[in-house]
Copies of this chain bind each other. A is one copy, B any other.
Amino acid sequence: MSSSDAPLDLSLDGGALTARLVDFPSVSGDEQALADAVESALRALPHLAVDRYGNNVVARTNLGRPERVLLAGHLDTVPIADNVPSYVDGDLLYGCGTSDMKSGVAVQLRLAATLTEPNHDLTFVFYDCEEIEASRNGLGHLAKHRPDWLAADFAILMEPSGAMVEGGCQGTMRAQIALTGTRAHAARSWLGDNAIHHAAELLGRLASYEPRRVEIDGLEYREGLNAVKIEGGVAGNVIPDECVVTVNFRFAPDRSEAEAEDHLREVFAGYRVLVTDSAPGALPGLAQPAAQAFLAATGGRARAKFGWTDVARFSALGVPAVNYGPGDPNLAHKREEHCSLSAIAEVEDRLRAWLTGS
């Protein structure tokens, strides 16, 4: 029996269960076998109601508690890079997905199996295709087609956060600014108007831009506005008539997308700004009572999340959400990816204490 045919044994400790999940490959698009195993293990638990949509599995308690807490994690990993099977070295478990985020999934499964009488109703969400294009994201599909399965008062996304609470996430917006000129032969440059030279003023605005820092729910968000691409030129002997600068604005979650766009148009007043794509941020929601109790239980330490994450999908559904998981975000997607076994145990213990305390 190969490892991927064996049923998942949820009585293993968190570290051993993580190793078991890492040895069960599930690169994005290839999650079906793991989703089957997760579904089957959860259906064996009488205190949970289990639903499935595609390769997304959702398990819930229905105890009539006044509040519902949701714990979410993605089943997929980036492509394996000679880093499966897993192995242990001291306190560290090495392998593809150890940090991002099979250690988080292991904690979810451990809590799902053992919290038969939690103090909040619980929803466990396991989804697919987080590491690839947003249109295939399983949580996005649930939000669109089964939004009631995601109803909750507070959500915890168990992405790698170094066992720290990371609140909210910043929004992101990309825009193109096209500078124009007049083409001419380079030998008679005075007949032309060089579009690349016009970029000097625009890039000067970017170089001297002072990004805002703002505190929300006690967390400091640092914005950023950067050119991420510039392209101009026709041929080595031609004065170019176009130069296109692409900028990326990372904005704190107190701005809406519309406000972020207004800000870009203000910074680039006088230029034609074409927004090509954007995603809203998510407020940390740490002022909520459930979040406060959670924060206290996890040690009271929280920091702002800068990168865009799926917490924004919960935010869009009106569910405050944070990132909190045992993995190390700096190791995600790396060949030497690993996770601390004691961090896995710590996160499980803290969540258990919070979800069983009075």
Contacts and interface: CB of A to CB of B under 8 A. Distances in A.
Interface in A218-234: 222, 224-234
B227 A230 contact: no
Contact of A226 (B174, B197, B203): B197
Contacts of A156: none
Interface in A163-213: 170, 172, 174, 185-190, 194, 196-201, 203-204, 206-207, 211
B239 A226 contact: yes
Contacts of A199: 199-200, 203, 230
A197 B207 contact: yes
Contacts of A235: 228
A243 interface: yes
A231 B200 CA distance: 14
Given A232-B229, A233-B228, A239-B228, A196 B203 contact: yes
Number of copies of this kind of chain in the complex:
2
A187 B170 contact: yes
A253 interface: no
Contact of A236 (B196, B228, B234): B228
Nearest to A305: B187
A20 interface: no
Interface in A262-314: 306-308
Contacts of A243: 230
A140 interface: no
B233 A194 contact: no
Contact of A187 (B206, B231, B308): B308
Contacts of A211: 189-190
A237 interface: yes
Contacts of A98: none
A172 B194 contact: no
Contact of A228 (B225, B231, B238): B238
Contacts of A188: 222, 224, 306-307
Contact of A203 (B189, B197, B239): B197
A197 B205 CA distance: 9
A83 interface: no
Contacts of A225: 189
A18 interface: no
A243 B226 CA distance: 13
Interface in A42-78: none
A113 B112 CA distance: 102
A246 interface: yes
Contacts of A196: 203, 206, 226-230, 245
9 contacts: A170-B187, A186-B228, A189-B211, A189-B250, A196-B206, A199-B199, A199-B200, A227-B233, A228-B240
Given A199-B203, A228-B233, 12 more contacts: A172-B186, A186-B248, A187-B224, A196-B226, A196-B227, A201-B207, A226-B239, A228-B239, A229-B240, A230-B230, A230-B233, A237-B248
